[in-house]
Structure 1
């Protein structure tokens, strides 16, 4: 049985891709728990090898937790993170393999393969969590919200602050909200088709 896929219209493509930008300011309009939950409900469908799903999400609301997070952001990112209605710390679970019997029930023995190979497990966690992080940004946009993804932070400091048992390792901080005044920097150039694509 075949299934004909539908194509996004130009408005949807603009929302997710061509018109989407990294937000640098946000309004004070709250982001609801329901909206944050829905972001994950979309993100969870990202493809991952062996259905491993190593991404973990920590939402940080304004308050004491946010203050702790801001101290670990690079100086140029602190004000943006402090002002965002919601912030997500995206992390990879280095022991994702413990869930393999549940998420890959036809091959549960793969858990032991990952358990016995630290290099394979770390590579799988890093690559697939990063892939899921890209989907997370698209999910924020799909909710009609702006995303401000940032790698400029002290990962060791964030991990010690929020993930002290060492199992989770932060990979990205994403500010989330409705864009505020002067939220967008000028659009920077993108590489052209002929600079990137080859045909074999």
Structure 2
């Protein structure tokens, strides 16, 4: 199945979408968060490894727990956002490959021979899933504020202790207040970023 999205959808997902720094007080329901994941999970990953693991930081208590790990410039907007998603990746994703890639019984051995190799793959494919997360969120009418200004070790300690998951980036989600937007920054033109060979 293939198709082409119209300009309206492309504007929502890419051209008119902005990184938000201020938020309205409109809440994001748990059902919306579940719908977001149920959409993003279909994006492709190598051997269907699906290493992304997400914690949706939503409650007042969880926000207060996260706040000290944020860089100063990211604290206010993250506390105001209805939800801050911690996008992490499971470095032992391969333990689920018998379930996720059942037609190739040896798939686990493609990755579990080296911790470094496994983590490279988990980080790369988890980052891909992070991009799918943003596209899915925007497709559902949410605004996003992805960021990397936080203490990764502290987030890992606070939210992923005792697991095989490491944090990658954070993404505030909700309904953005346009008064907090900066003037849109330029992007590189095709000839500066791409080459056809």
TM-score by length of 1: 0.95
**Alignment RMSD:** 1.1
Aligned length in residues: 197
Deviations 1:82-134 (A, max 9, x none): 01111110100011000000111111212133222212211110100001000
User: Which of residues 5, 23, 28 is equivalent to 1:26?
Assistant: 23
115, 119, 143: which one pairs with 2:116?
119
Q: Aligned-pair distance for 1:193?
A: 1.1
Unaligned residue ranges in structure 1 (runs of 5+): none
Is 1:172 matched up with 2:169? yes
TM-score, with length taken from structure 2: 0.97
Partner of 1:57: 54
Q: Is the 8 A contact 1:159 1:166 kept in 2?
A: no
Partners in 2 of 1:11 and 1:183 — Cα distance? 23
- What's the CA shift string for 1:146-186, capped at 9, x where partnerless? 00001000000000001111411000111111112513211
Unaligned 5+ runs, structure 2: none
The list of structure 1 runs, each at least 4 consecutive aligned residues, that deviate by more than 4 angstroms after superposition, is: none
For the Cα contact (< 8 Å) 2:20–2:178, is it kept in 1?
no
**Match 1:162 to one of 141, 153, 159:** 159
Whether the 8 Å contact between 1:39 and 1:140 is mirrored in structure 2 is: yes
Give the counterpart of 2:43 among 37, 42, 46: 46
